[in-house]
Every structure is written in C-alpha cells, then in structure tokens.
Amino acid sequence: MNLLILPGDGIGPEIIAATLTVLRRVDDLFGLNLAYQTRDIGLKTLASQGTTLPQAVIDAVGHADGVILGPVSHLDYPPADQGGVNPSGILRTHFNLFANIRPAKSRAGMTILRTPMDLVIVRENTEGFYADRNMHQGIGEFMPTPDMALAVRKVTAEASSRIARTAFDLARARRKMVTAVHKQNVLRVSDALFLREVRAVAADYPDVELDDVLVDAATALLIRTPERFDVMVTTNMFGDILSDEASELAGSLGLGASLNAGHDRAVAQAQHGSAPDIAGQDKANPTALLLSTAMLLRWLGGRRRDANALLAAADAMETAVEAALATPSARTADLGGPLGTQAFAAAVAERLVR
C-alpha cells in the first residue's frame, strides 16, 4: 500500500516525522507493507518551482492509496496568480473530498468541561463561504469599489445531501443521533436548502434521531452540555469554527484529528495550522496528525481486502496515543507535560501492542 507524504510548512515536517515513527512501528506489528513517497509543497516549492502545489504532486495524489498532509502556511502565500494556492483547498475540491470528519472527546486531566464530550463534527468540505472553492472561475470574494467587499456563499443540494448521508452513516455506528447546525433564521435561503436536504436524508435512517440547532446556540451548548451531541453535521465555515472550539475544550488544538474523505480517496490532515512561531523547536504536539493517520488507516480498511490488519492497526494506534496521553509525564508541553514532539512519538511507539 502506497502512502504519499506531504510535509507542508512550519511544524509540518516535525509532526510528519513523528507520525512516521509511529506508523513504521505499526507497519512492523501488523504487516501492512506500507511504502512511502514524500513530495514537497508549500513555501519550499514556491521558492523552487514558483507554486505551492506543483502539478506533479496533484498527479501523485491521484496514484496514491492514501495521503498524509502536513499543515500549510497559506496565510503567508502570495496571491494564487503568483503561485500561492492553498494546497489543502485545492486537494479537497480537485479530488472531491467532500467530507471533513473531525472527532473530539474530552480526557481526564486535560479538559475544562464539567461533563464528558465524545462527538464527531461532519463538515461539508467543498463549498460554503470558502472563497477558494466555490466558483468555477475566479474566487468567491470581490470588491466592486475600493471600499466594498462582497463574499459569495455556495450551498448546493447535492453537497448538502452527501454530507448528511456521511453524518447519518457515522451516527448509525455510534449513539444514533445527528444534530444539524445552521443559521436559518438569518441565512433563510442557503441554510434552508441545507436543512431541506438533511431532513430528506433523515427519512432513510428511521433508527437515527435528528434535531437541529442554531450555530450560535451550538457554540454555547458545546460548553454547557456537550454530552447532548453525538454527530454534528454542518456547512463548511460553521464546521471549521465548531471543531476548533471542540478541540480546545478537549484540551488542546493539538488533539484535533481530521480526515478529508471522498468516495474513493482520503487525506489525513491535522486540524490545526502550521504554527511557524514554534517551528523547528521540537515543541509541537503531533497527536492530531497521529490520530488523523489512524483515521486514514480505518478508512482504507473499509475499502480493501486486507481490512482486518488495517482496522486492527488503526485501533492499536489510537489506543497507544490514548495510553500516552493518560500519562502526565508522557504529554507534550501544551498539555502540561515535559516531552517534545519526537519524544512523544517514541512514547506512543513504545505503547503499541498487537
């Protein structure tokens, strides 16, 4: 099985190295026969090739079984017409990775929550208010005058329906509850369309309960009563904000796992950014990318003949990460521990068992 590794910018190369330390141990234990190909993207290729995402990398993604993507510093990129495209956004739209799946759960000694949280946020990944992925030509933001900026939000029935189906499928394997998060009281057309499609999909899942919550209420309820949520499904920007909130409530944005998935391809990507202020200092928490990679293994396990080994490997990887996090002396600095990036990866690798 061939995995494409894209280290990215900032702390990307460090957390990628940590992830590969653990993944190679997983491969040894479970005989996954993994092969790795590493390609540069981001600021490195901008300097050497004039683009943050070379066409050769896009082609390589199309031939890989799975992709592990490091964070990118797209805020530091020049405009797209000068080569500064957002690799994450381009890969999501080019390969139709429409579902951004972001689990979040609280852990003893790390969370500020009074009651436990264990939920999954299912975020539509290809449209919404994201200016780099909602137009055929140009971007979704424009300025008719120097003092006026407009933004276009795209919501389609097709995208709303397929993200809803992803959420209901996940809920069916969990606690059988889906919450649609929206702002229909203000966005009376676009969010009404989103909710219409979610409710239509719900009819195919009579065993799964559906409710809906305004996004501003959802931000408060995540703090007050997080246990009421099982699977939350929402549009692109709302999902991005809510998942960051949920990860911080769990203890750190460094815990935020994320998988970008379509029907035939998936990319593991930590929820957080490239943190250039701590790059090269061995301070970054690699947990998010480790758990994202376990999600990728599980996704691949649902689609391959060697499913048992992949699913067992994903379980073992998650168990080892949780065992390390449960030990205060094995945590990284953002969680109050003494370990750096690579030492934490070694602590996880030591806890891997078949």
> Would you say 34 and 300 are in contact if contact means Cβ atoms under 8 Å apart?
no
- Examine the residue annotation and report whether 205 is marked as an active-site residue of this protein: no
Given the residues 191, 212, 230, 244, select the one marked as catalytic: 244
Burial 196-206 (b: 16+ CB within 10 A, else e): ebbeebbeebe
- Rounded to 5°, the CA angle 17-101-229 comes to 125
- Examine the residue annotation and report whether 130 is marked as an active-site residue of this protein: yes
Which of these, 222, 259, 269, lies nearest to 242 by C-alpha position?
Answer: 222
β partners of residue 231: 120, 178
> Would you say 164 and 210 are in contact if contact means Cβ atoms under 8 Å apart?
no
Q: Please, what is the end-to-end C-alpha distance for the chain in angstroms?
A: 20
β partners of residue 210: 178
> Would you say 8 and 41 are in contact if contact means Cβ atoms under 8 Å apart?
yes
Helices 12-30 & 287-301, crossing angle to 10 degrees?
A: 40
Given the residues 9, 105, 130, 191, select the one marked as catalytic: 130
Ramachandran area for residue 251 (φ above 0: left; ψ -120 to 50: alpha; else beta): left
Given the residues 183, 282, 306, 334, select the one marked as catalytic: 183
Which of these, 84, 98, 105, 100, lies nearest to 41 by C-alpha position?
Answer: 84
Burial 149-167 (b: 16+ CB within 10 A, else e): eeeebbbbeebbbbbbbbb
Q: How many angstroms from the chain centroid is the CA of residue 146? A: 35
User: How many whole angstroms separate alpha carbon 102 and alpha carbon 58?
Assistant: 24
- Examine the residue annotation and report whether 191 is marked as an active-site residue of this protein: no
User: How many whole angstroms separate alpha carbon 121 and alpha carbon 127?
Assistant: 16
- The catalytic residues are 130, 183, 216, 240, 244
